[in-house]
Homo-oligomer: A and B are copies of this chain.
Amino acid sequence: MNSAHAAVEIEGADRPGEVVLVCEHASNAFPAPWGDLGLTPDQREAHIAWDPGALGLARGLAAQLEAPLVAARQSRLIYDLNRPPHHPGAMPVTSEIHDIPGNAALSPDDRSARTEALYEPFHASLRSLIAERLARGRPTALVTVHSFTPIWFGKPREVELGVIHDADPSLAQAVLEEARRVTQLDARLNEPYSGADGVCHTLALQATPMGLPNVMLELRNDLIADPTAQEAMAVTLAPVLQAALSQITANNGEAA
């Protein structure tokens, strides 16, 4: 690794809750040695660079659920931690309607260096946190927190809460039912995209092989645009997650 940049931030590793929260697109930082990839300030603030509001929501959920939070410390345009190293989206050449100049001509060495500096330590830290809990027999569910843009290629999206799953849909289905029961959100399963679109890599890598309940939450980012809205959404969604986990735990004996 030729960078002193730390790829991952872990908050509250020892918190006692059942959920482990992950925010792969938490940051729009463009640290050295990668820098701004030739993007304009507006582009670096836009949804292509990160998931606006997701970190604030994840921190609110972490407080409500007494959950550890594992978050990225750099833009997804440098390395999208929710994609494997050979995926075109890991170091994308374009995102929506924007070219990413600093990704236009990456060599195998460049790709390897970013993978080693960012993807490997992020997922090793998360794996270690999960493995430690499992070795001690602690029930564990994995919840990733994302946001999506209200307008994509010029088209508005009506869905407000997307509830997405990997191979095991049980937690996602329970979250969807509970969200429809106790919130006013337009909540939909596997929208605005699904695991079939390759957006569930963290769940596939970290939860499925361990048999952990898992869900990816996608909030439309206009609903979590400032700290007040993020906190309110956390207060709305934390009991939804807790009720959903209680339900699948009751169905399965225990969550992990």
A201 CB to closest chain B CB (Å) equals 7
Contacts of A256 in B (CB 8 A): 86
Instruction: Decide yes or no whether A137 CB sits under 8 A from chain B.
Output: yes
Q: Is the CB of A128 within 8 A of B132?
A: no
Q: Is the CB of B116 within 8 A of A84?
A: no
Instruction: Decide yes or no whether A167 CB sits under 8 A from chain B.
Output: yes
Q: Is the CB of B108 within 8 A of A137?
A: yes
* Contact A209 to B211, CB < 8 A, known contacts A124-B124, A128-B120: no
Instruction: Decide yes or no whether A127 CB sits under 8 A from chain B.
Output: yes
Distance of A204 Cα from B167 Cα, bound (Å)? 12
Contacts of A84 in B (CB 8 A): 131, 134, 209-211
Which of B120, B201, B211 is A131 in contact with, Cβ under 8 Å? B120
How many copies of the shown chain assemble into the complex?
2
- Residues of A near any B CB (own CB < 8 A): 84-86, 108, 111-112, 114-116, 119-120, 123-124, 127-128, 131-132, 134-137, 167, 201, 204-205, 208-211, 256
Which of B86, B132, B210 is A112 in contact with, Cβ under 8 Å? B132
Contacts of A205 in B (CB 8 A): 209
Which of B123, B204, B209 is A201 in contact with, Cβ under 8 Å? B209
Contacts of A167 in B (CB 8 A): 167
Q: Is the CB of A116 within 8 A of B134?
A: no
A-B contact pairs, 18 of them (CB 8 A): A84-B209, A86-B256, A108-B135, A108-B137, A112-B135, A115-B131, A115-B134, A116-B132, A120-B124, A120-B127, A120-B128, A124-B124, A124-B127, A201-B209, A205-B209, A208-B208, A208-B209, A209-B209
In the complex, the chain B residue whose C-beta lies closest to that of A198 is: B211
Contacts of A123 in B (CB 8 A): 127
Contacts of A210 in B (CB 8 A): 84, 86
A92 CB to closest chain B CB (Å) equals 14
Which of B111, B127, B135 is A111 in contact with, Cβ under 8 Å? B135
Distance of A108 Cα from B134 Cα, bound (Å)? 10
A231 CB to closest chain B CB (Å) equals 33
In the complex, the chain B residue whose C-beta lies closest to that of A136 is: B108
Contacts of A137 in B (CB 8 A): 86, 108, 111
Q: Across chains A and B, which 9 residue pairs bring their CB atoms closest together, nearest first?
A: A86-B134, A115-B135, A85-B135, A205-B209, A108-B136, A204-B209, A85-B134, A111-B135, A112-B135
